[in-house]
Amino acid sequence: MTCKRRFSFLSNHIVFIFLASPCFLIASAERANSEETHPPDIVLIVADNLGYGDLSCYGCPDIKTPHIDSIAEEGVRFTNFYSNGPECSPTRTALLTGRYQQRISGLECALGTGNVGRYDDAIALAEEHNLGLPPDESVLIPAMNEAGYKTVGLGKWHLGYEKHLLPPHHGFDYFLASLGGTIDYFYHNEPTGEPVLYENLKQVRRDKYFTDLITDGAIKFLEKQPREEPIFLYLPYTAPSAPFQHPDRKPSKPKVSTKWDSKDWQKGDRETLIAMMERLDQGVGRILETLKETGREENTLVIFCSDNGAYPIATSNKPFRGHASELLEGGIHVACMAKWPGRLPVDEVDETPMLSFDLTASILAAAKARPRKDRPLDGIDILGQISRGQSAKSRTLFWRSRRANRTWKAVRKPGGLKYVSLQDGDQFTESLYNVVRDPGETKDLFSSKPQEVKRLKEKLALWESEVSPKK
């Protein structure tokens, strides 16, 4: 008898159905007892600008991702997972703090190449050499360290170029980091030509395709780390983000553009995207195999997600409209899946609306790590609720994103009504969608539901006041 868990929406309420077999409950209890003495290892894999429609387990017809898909097959696949922001830095802030990124000044937009601020607060912080995530705001890594975990990261940092903002100051035991938002996959430089690969606090050079460099480093760590010491492995890949560079076609010189928005840096074709995605999938497969070979698999929580939606280059956010940097579904409705043998159901689909920082709360709970009392979490332990067969509480989700003179805002209530506004210079637009019935946001309900609009705008204003950075 297999354990099945399915969620469905009925009349604006979420109905939960849980049929658990005796063997699953016994295995869960045994696993829980085992973890009293052996805390779970935790691996968090974050793809960069991955389109919802570019994984085969989410319906992609031409990209083969069997290893990533296996996480969903052996665990839970989420179909209403939202990133905290439509760009890189905001979501990464939420992941490392477990809180809305709006609580910290300057992080509602991706940091620009070379540490450039892209709206007023960020510009002011860049001029003070303080643009990025302050270490005293970090929650996840200090808590994991306190719980006895070895904390290691490899990949994209994008939370500050300044030395005092680099990963070791946030508590990481080790981090091989690309500092900014985008790098040449082979030469590890930004569009300006500036090398930005750091090992802890030191700039380094490596000779390998960056996706493979991340994977190889993760495998080396897993093979050398003593089995008795629990690990938290953070793998923020840059794939499949631009520049679109085929893993088997190394150019003779670094890719350099005079401007970040250069078409040369951002252009790409589907063939190259497929190669990049499949190399990422192979890397995930190698990591999963290493977990098995080192005897860690049965007590490891593995999570895979994207930091935001894809840009419209050669990617797909189907069935959603919009793309990265926007608060339409295509910018924030992303892929996520998790497996945890004996604790999470197998081959299940979960429709619970959730945000990136719910992963943070779930990781801390799984590790029995204590978050800071002075930085209470905004996220909730979704994975723990699922493992216990509990119903998730209905809640309203909020977003705000700023860049230059443009501000996006959005709020989604239980049941699927979502209000979206865009202030772009002197232009202001508002829309209302039911994203459960109309995931492509094709039917604007703004004019027909004025009272709903009013209530959602009031909730949004209250949230903005609550998360405003404390001076």
- Reply yes or no on whether the pLDDT at 368 is more than 60: yes
- Reply yes or no on whether the pLDDT at 19 is more than 70: no
- Reply yes or no on whether the pLDDT at 441 is more than 50: yes
96 and 164 in a single domain? The answer is yes
422 and 377 in a single domain? The answer is no
229 and 262 in a single domain? The answer is yes
The enclosing domain of 440 has a CATH number of 3.30.1120.10
- Domain stops at, among 354, 380, 395: 395
pLDDT band at 266 (very low <50, low <70, confident <90, very high): confident
- Reply yes or no on whether the pLDDT at 215 is more than 60: yes
83 and 212 in a single domain? The answer is yes
Residues 273 and 240 sit within 8 Å (Cβ to Cβ): yes
| Residue at 234 is within a domain | yes
- Reply yes or no on whether the pLDDT at 68 is more than 80: yes
161 and 262 in a single domain? The answer is yes
418 and 294 in a single domain? The answer is no
- Reply yes or no on whether the pLDDT at 258 is more than 90: no
- Domain stops at, among 342, 365, 395: 395
Total count of domains within the chain: 2
The reported pTM is 0.92
| Residue at 24 is within a domain | no
| Residue at 8 is within a domain | no
- Span 20-41, pLDDT tens digits: 444 444 445 455 444 456 899 9
| Residue at 25 is within a domain | no
452 and 375 in a single domain? The answer is no
| Domain carrying residue 383 | 39-395
- Domain stops at, among 376, 395, 414: 395
435 and 308 in a single domain? The answer is no
Q: Is 315 exposed, middle or buried (0-12, 13-18, 19+ CB in 10 A)?
A: buried
- Taking the C-alpha atoms of residue 148 and residue 144, their distance in angstroms, rounded to an integer, is 7
pLDDT for the residue 269: 94
DSSP string, 287-328: HHHHHHHTT-GGGEEEEEEESS---TTT---TT----TTS-S
| Residue at 403 is within a domain | yes
- Reply yes or no on whether the pLDDT at 391 is more than 90: no
| Residue at 231 is within a domain | yes
Query: What is residue 220's three-state secondary structure?
Result: helix
266 and 368 in a single domain? The answer is yes
54 and 153 in a single domain? The answer is yes
- Reply yes or no on whether the pLDDT at 74 is more than 70: yes
| Residue at 237 is within a domain | yes
The enclosing domain of 186 has a CATH number of 3.40.720.10
424 and 347 in a single domain? The answer is no
| Residue at 7 is within a domain | no
Pair of tokens at residue 86: 């439509």
362 and 314 in a single domain? The answer is yes
- Span 106-123, pLDDT tens digits: 999 999 999 999 999 999
- Reply yes or no on whether the pLDDT at 405 is more than 80: yes
